Chain A
Amino acid sequence: MKLPVSWLKDFVEIDLNDLFDLARMLTMAGLEVEEIQLAGLSVPETTRREFKVHGLAWDRDKIFVAQINEVMPHPNAERLVLCRVFDGAQEHIVLTGAPSLLAYKNQGPLPKPFKVAYALQGARIYDGHAPGWSLVTLKPARIRGVDSSSMVCSEKELGISEEHEDIIYFDDDAPVGTPLVDYIGDAVFEVKINPNMIRNACVLGIAREIAAITGKPLRAPRSSLEGVIGKAEGAAYAGIQILNPELNPRFVLGLVRGVQPQPSPYWVQRRLRLAGMRPINSVVDATNYAMLEIGEPLHAFDYDILVQRAGGKPPTIITRTAAPGEKLTTLDGVEHTLDDFTVLVCDTAGALSIAGVMGGLESEVSENTRNVLLEGASWNFINIRKTTASQHMNTEASYRFSRGIHPELAMTGVKQCLDYIAQWSGGNIEPELVDAYPLPYKDAVVRITAGEVNRRLGLNLTTTRIATLLDRLDFEVEVEGEFITAKSPAYRTDISEGVIGQADLLEEIARLYGYDNIPASRLADALPVQRRRPLYEGQERMRDCLAALGLMEVISLRLTSPENERRLLPRRNQSLSEEGQENLDADWISVRNPIAQERSVLRRSLLASVMEALEVNSRKSGARASNERLAFFEIGSVYLRRQESADQGQLPLNEDDLLPIEQPKVAIVLQGKREKTGWKTAQAETLDFYDLKGIIEELLDMHALKGSFEPAAHPSFHPGKCARLWIEGGDGSPVDAGIFGELHPQVKENYDLAVEPVLAAELDLQPFLKSNISLRSIESVPVYPPVLEDIAVIVDEAIPAVQVESVIRKAGGKTLAKVSLFDVYRGAQIGEGKKSLAYNLVFQVQDHTLTDDEAEKVRWKIIRLLEQELKASLRGA
């Protein structure tokens, strides 16, 4: 909310010499001042700025209230005039182009001089002609042969508003010769109004807060109608009929006869503009002014139109919900088709306005209005919210009504506004008011003790002190023994009763006492029991392992598009529903209100996320030319519909069957050189399948888990270079832990990448959580020396290496401590369709030094079993 601070002075004593002090006071009371816009006043010179400040401070000795005594023609210019301007000390001849002065040329001394803002040479003002806000210093100039060194100012030149059509004309009582800053110097605070503080979305509300904080008395506005009680049954000029008091607890009407809508006094227009509203005419301005001042949105009807609609009789205002399909054109000219819950203000002829949101076009006040019927009402805030959401209408009125305005304000608002209409537009206020109040508001009553307050805030306040604090906030307070009973003031609706009301009071007590005055302490309460968080611990361990293995962690946006994830399928498959496509062509969980098409669904593939990171980095200049090593991983969830993931690992938090499965995954991609780019790595080899497999094997070791690998088929992967990882679970049976391999060349084509193969994995995190790494037992280091032997065996190409190794292990038994493959050979020497696998064998036992003979026996046993089971032959034998 834009708050012109000078307005506060109408209601409470404040010091405008230190705006920071005032802004700080409001901020620390929960009314955060986000910005200070100077419109004349200045801020103190300090090293700490504290607030964002912009705008213009007026020179006290260079900008004054002055009067134009006579308007004379410019000798050489039709559209310019020369004015005799008196600044309180002397007269100056001032050149101006203000269009409104042209009419007064050659009329001699003005019978009633114009009061204007006058800036002398050297004054800092804004350039009225330049777009935006650019500061200039007034310098002597010669315009069409006439010297000019001072100026009569527009609002823009003084930083009051963007108005530069014409100069400012002050009201007649403006004191000539007074520095302008002393007359209308101001500043606008941009105050953040929280949803529970709508009572402070008005000048009076903020003045009340200041009065409570400073202890200064509040001078609430007094209406000429004070003491007048409205008549529920209606007045001679109008009646009210409320059909649903739940939606419309109160409706107040007043009437002013014989008005003449006209421009409002300058001080009213200036305040409205500073507050961000556009002055329209003295009747409409009065409703807006009263709303800004008191907080009650008001609506003025052209009374004669209502009488006409009622066939010449006094109108009856009816409030009701809209009929099915009912339409209304609001005063902004838009026709609305209304919902059945929308409340309308109607008369016997039909709808007049959307209650609490916007008036209708037909009954709007115009220049020709002579009699004004004024509405002040109270509306159900939830209903107003539903209406604004459904009709996409946000107005000053709906902003307030949708947050809960106390019904008491309907009456005070109407009374105050009637005064303003009569003062600024002429006319007579009908002494009778109409007040239908079928559902009186019950102000909350809360009972609390000092013990409760102190226990929760960590303070040591006495009952009296608490009662005083609440009293300053206008609560009606009664103290009986240890109990404090406080009744909420009749302008706020944010206080509840019972235990919630106590929390409301605590906040008010703490706020007024000052959060900063509450001493900080350390937690002394009992600690909870310790609980394990396997998922958290597991994911962090996985992160550490992968970083230790030389991979870079990425974190991606989790909203994506189906098109983006479908890139993980070869193009030919994208529209088909082939077997084996698993999650990739199923349906994504979509967002109902996406910010963009490419962020319209929750991801189903973590690999797709990491592929995007690869693509981003592959695109950057130089990466491709140098075949840079790119190695990324990500740990995070994918989102799957519940029914389709019934057989998959479940998170512990699935309380609600409605919610999708969030399955934690690990994705890895590798591309480029095996080594990091350096000055001697030009010849470095390119990463391949076994680099990725090596990383996965290390992961298993680091988790003390046993895994196995088998060839797998998946449309995203090269059919010959794809494997599935199985991890031995707690019961010894293997658990599917995901798939990895070289990306299918046709999938790679879907990305903007270098030519080298992409190695990729998408693994489930869940099987890795079974790791019992911190309690695993280890084998002791052998004391007796080993016997080392190499063997090379020739087998059919079709026999996988894992089978050869398992036969070797079986035959080797306990004596064979270690088997490691060191070479794979294919070539003419061993014949087509064959391969030679060479192993280092380590024979070793824990209890004695193995002899060569013992080792030799086992070696032959291994060779014989390889011959029997795999038809292998010993190479070089």
Chain B
Amino acid sequence: MTDQDKLLQDLEASYRQMETEALSALAGVQDEEALHTWQVAHIGRNSPVMNSFKRMADLPKELRPLIGQRANQVKEALESAYEARREQLKQQALQRSLEQERLDVTLPGRRPPAGRLHPITQTLRQILSIFATMGFQVYLSRDVETDDFNFTYLNIPPHHPARDIWDTFHLEIPNTVLRTHTSPGQIRAMREFAPEPVRVALPGMVYRYEQISTRSSFQFYQIELLAVGKNITFGDLKGTLNDFVYRLFEKEGGPQEIRTRFRPDYFPFTEPSAEMDVECFICGGKGCSVCKQSGWVEILGCGMVHPVVLRNGGYDPKKFTGFAAGLGVDRLCMLQHGIDDIRNFWRNDVRFLEQF
């Protein structure tokens, strides 16, 4: 063995030792700080491997490439081990911190102040949108009416027994009343549209002289429906209102037929007149408190527009026919949501309103 061989052998052993020691030390490194110390000690400027480069000049010329290659090999091996360890420690640290940051996901969320529309507004919009698809445009009319619009033009002359149907608020201004129904809007709409056909839905607040109780209020919301044309039949009235009811109370899977019935009733401004009942969807017709044990729920009054009303609206009753209906929005909203006290609507308690 030549001296060179011996030297080579020694150097090889020292590099191997350098590498082994460094790697075993690295395995024991557990944190960022120790890693830094290791880096300085094993791949830093004064580390054995780096120092070995500095001593390269002392070696025989012919050995230099070989040893240099070997030194590089060790340096790269340690550097990549260092990178791997660093990455590993980073992962471990992240893992630790993620584990520490665990939240109680069952704590309540922080809610933005969300607004709400009043339940009556919501039901009103639902009803109006169903009728809109059937071609009924919205028409607004006034709250304070003349006696003529509220009664006389609607075929309810002064002292007519039909006036008993409505308990009326009279205003101090002579011959003015708070509208007892949305029907005066029929006359106003007809006078605007005549002689063209009419198809309007007329929402509005109406007023009746009644003490406030769970079932009645002196103020409530109504929607009036009016269709006037040359070919409108009682059958159309039934079909339109049936379609409406199917959609309003539709369940998953879209509209379905619900049992309805039209029974004769009396309103001075329609003839024939009818009351529309819907089979009680709470009990399915067996009888419950909602349907007052009758199996049927009264939802609206309707009928063919009376000739006197058509004439007062500017239409010739010999040529034109039409139908009208009046729906209680509060009542429908109560049925939709199982609300048992009508006073909730105007009391404006947040605990009620925020449920919608």
Partners in one complex: yes
What distance in Å separates the Cβ of A464 from its nearest Cβ neighbour in chain B? 21
A521 adjacent to B233 (CB under 8 Å): yes
- Subset of 20 A-B contacts with CB under 8 Å: A51-B293, A194-B265, A194-B266, A195-B162, A195-B165, A500-B307, A510-B264, A515-B272, A516-B262, A521-B238, A523-B240, A525-B197, A533-B137, A543-B121, A550-B114, A553-B117, A557-B346, A602-B171, A629-B113, A651-B142
Please state if A527 and B199 are interface contacts (CB–CB under 8 Å): yes
- Number of residues on chain B facing chain A (CB within 8 A): 105
Task: For A548, give the chain B residue with the smallest CB separation.
Answer: B115
Q: In the bound complex, what is the Cα–Cα distance between A554 and B292 (angstroms)?
A: 30
B166 CB, min distance to chain A CBs, angstroms:
12
Q: How far is the CB of A643 from chain B (nearest CB, A)?
A: 12
Task: Please encode chain A, from 510 to 534, with 1 for each CB lying within 8 Å of some chain B CB and 0 for all others.
Answer: 1100011011111111111111010
Interface residues of B in 220-257 (CB under 8 A from A): 227, 229-236, 238-240, 242-243
Bound-state CA distance A221–B188 (Å) is 50
Binds A, one of B30-38, B52-60, B74-82, B103-111: B103-111
Give chain B residues whose Cβ lies under 8 Å from the Cβ of A591: 169-172, 178
Closest to B316 in A: A499
User: In the complex, are the beta carbons of A552 and B115 less than 8 A apart?
Assistant: yes
Interface segment among B7-15, B16-24, B40-48, B143-151: the answer is: B143-151
Contacts of A624 in B (CB 8 A): none
With A528-B197, A676-B112 known to touch, is A659 a contact of B271 (CB < 8 Å)? no
For B301-345 the 0/1 string (1 means CB < 8 A from A) is: 000101110000000011001000000000000000000000001
Q: Which residues of A contact B233 (CB under 8 A)?
A: 455-458, 521
Interchain nearest-CB distance for A618 vs B (Å)? 10
Q: Are B218 and A595 in contact (CB under 8 A)?
A: yes
Closest beta carbon of chain A to B200's beta carbon, Å = 8
Q: Report if A556-B348 is in contact (Cβ < 8 Å); known contacts: A533-B138, A679-B107.
A: yes
A295 shortest CB reach to chain B, Å: 15
Give the interface segment out of A42-50, A174-182, A794-802. A42-50
| Segment with Cβ contacts to A, from B61-69, B84-92, B94-102, B203-211 | B203-211
Instruction: State how many angstroms separate the Cβ of B136 from the closest Cβ of chain A.
Output: 10
B146 engages A656 (CB within 8 Å): yes
- Residue A558, interface by CB 8 Å: yes
- How close is A826's CB to chain B, nearest CB, in angstroms? 30
A window 789-842: CB within 8 A of B: none
Which residues in A have their C-beta under 8 angstroms from that of B134? Answer: 523
| A543 touching B117, Cβ below 8 Å | yes
- Give the distance in Å from the alpha carbon of A616 to the alpha carbon of B348 in the complex: 8
B263 (CB) vs chain A CBs: closest residue: A28
Contact residues of B: prevailing secondary structure: mixed
Q: Is the CB of A520 within 8 A of B238?
A: yes
Which A residue sits closest to B116, measured CB to CB?
A552
Let me know if B263 and A32 touch, CB within 8 A: yes
Contacting residues of chain A (19-49) with chain B, CB-CB under 8 angstroms: 27-30, 32, 47-49
Chain A contact residues, CB within 8 Å of chain B: 27-30, 32, 47-53, 194-198, 381-382, 385-386, 402-404, 455-459, 499-500, 502-504, 506-507, 510-511, 515-516, 518-531, 533, 535-536, 540, 543-544, 546-559, 589-595, 599, 602, 612-613, 616-617, 620, 629-632, 637, 639, 651, 653, 655-656, 658-660, 662, 675-676, 678-681
Q: Does the CB pair B144–A659 fall under 8 Å?
A: yes
Q: Which residue of A lies closest to B135 (CB)?
A: A527
Q: Are B171 and A518 in contact (CB under 8 A)?
A: no
Which residue from chain A places its CB closest to the CB of B266 in the assembled complex?
A194
Contacts of A551 in B (CB 8 A): 115
Chain A residue with the shortest CB-CB distance to B178: A591
Closest to B185 in A: A653
CA of A659 to CA of B210, assembled, Å: 23
B1 located at the interface, meaning its Cβ lies under 8 Å from any Cβ of chain A in the complex: no
The residue among B113, B120, B139 with the most chain A CB atoms within 10 A of its own CB is: B113
Contacts of B321 in A (CB 8 A): 455-456
Q: When A47-B286, A458-B235, A458-B236 are in contact, do A592 and B172 touch as well, CB less than 8 Å?
A: yes
Cα-based distance from A632 to B118 in the complex (angstroms): 11
Q: In the docked arrangement, what's the CA distance between A552 and B350, Å?
A: 8
Task: Judge if B196 is at the interface, Cβ distance under 8 Å.
Answer: yes
A639 touches B232 (CB 8 A): no
Query: How far apart sit A516 and B210, CA to CA, in the bound complex (Å)?
Result: 33
Q: How far is the CA of A594 from the CA of B171 in the complex (A)?
A: 9
B115 touches A546 (CB 8 A): yes
Question: Does any Cβ of A come within 8 Å of B70's Cβ?
Answer: no
Other A-B contacts than A458-B233, A525-B232, 15 sampled, CB-CB below 8 A, are A499-B317, A506-B272, A507-B272, A526-B197, A528-B193, A550-B112, A553-B115, A555-B120, A556-B346, A556-B348, A589-B172, A592-B169, A639-B143, A659-B142, A678-B110
The answer to whether B137 and A520 touch across the interface, beta carbons within 8 angstroms, is: no
Once bound together, how far apart are the Cα atoms of A531 and B238, in whole Å? 26
Q: Is B175 an interface residue (CB 8 A)?
A: yes
Q: Are A507 and B264 CB-contacts (below 8 A) given A518-B235, A522-B243?
A: yes
| Cα(A499)–Cα(B321), bound, Å | 12
The answer to whether B139 touches A653 (Cβ under 8 A) is: no
List chain B residues, Cβ under 8 A from A197.
266
* Cross-chain contact B285 with A48 (CB below 8 angstroms): yes
Indicate whether A48 sits within 8 Å of B286 (C-beta atoms), given known contacts A525-B232, A554-B348: yes
Question: In the complex, what residue of chain A is closest to B353 when comparing beta carbons?
Answer: A552
- B215 lies within 8 A of chain A by Cβ: no
What are the residues of chain B within 8 A of A556 when measuring CB–CB?
Answer: 346, 348
* A472 CB to nearest B CB, Å: 16
Q: Which residue in B117, B286, B306 is a CB contact (below 8 Å) of A49? A: B286
What residue of chain B has the Cβ atom nearest to residue A614's Cβ? B348
Asked whether any CB of chain A lies closer than 8 Å to the CB of B26, the reply is: no
Are B171 and A592 touching (Cβ within 8 A)? yes
Q: Residue A528 contacts which of B125, B199, B236, B271 (CB distance < 8 angstroms)?
A: B199
- A51 to nearest B CB, angstroms? 6
State the Cβ distance, A465 to closest chain B Cβ, in Å: 16
Residues of A within 8 A of B210 (CB): 595
Q: Which residues of A contact B140 (CB under 8 A)?
A: 533, 535-536, 653
Residue B39 interfacial (CB < 8 Å): no
